[in-house]
Amino acid sequence: MKLIIIVFQLVGKLASLALVLAICFPLLFVVVKGNQPMSVSQVPKGMTYWEFLSDRLDAARIVQPSRCGWGMFLSLGILGPIYSVVYTDVAIHPKGFLAKVTAPDPDIPKGVANASWIETPGIWWKVVERLSWTMLAKQKPGCQFRPVQASRKVSGCGKMVDISK
């Protein structure tokens, strides 16, 4: 009886560990990739995803909220995760069900058909970057965010230093 209890406790601890790792690894991936330069060609050279989002937040503060402002961020927050997964699947499985029922979109990557599972997170991240650029940086009627501005700050020794002066 004691052996059965020990086995169940071990299984419970392993399941808890697996759950923690299943949550932590994707978060760590997003944090690391978000601190690397974006792969979208229109983005100023060297701009990271987090710098891009910060710039877009600053741009949204200037635009009248009723014209688009925070609505674009809300759209990205709600639709971005869904579209990024769907577009990644469509790119990797171009003959699959989702590919047949998904409208063509320039944000769907090309040339990654039948990619291995190890390449999937990188493909997904590029889709996230493209969708973010499309939703937050491209000019749309009635939503005139200012153009993306490259960050004038660099980090060094754990603090931000303004080099614009």
Domain ranges of the chain: 1-34, 48-146
pLDDT of residue 36: 95
Q: Contact, 127 vs 86, CB < 8 A? A: no
Spatial separation of the C-alpha atoms in residues 85 and 62, rounded to whole Å:
31
**CA-wise closest residue to 59 among 140, 129, 128, 143:** 143
| Full-model pTM | 0.80
pLDDT of residue 73: 81
SS3 of residue 87 by DSSP? helix
pLDDT of residue 154: 46
> 3-state SS of the chain: helix, strand, coil percent to 5?
55, 5, 35
Low-confidence ranges of the chain (pLDDT < 70): 64-69, 141-142, 151-165
pLDDT of residue 58: 84
| The token pair that represents 109 in the structure block | 């990557």
* 111-159 pLDDT per residue, tens: 999 999 999 999 999 999 999 998 888 777 667 778 888 765 544 444 4
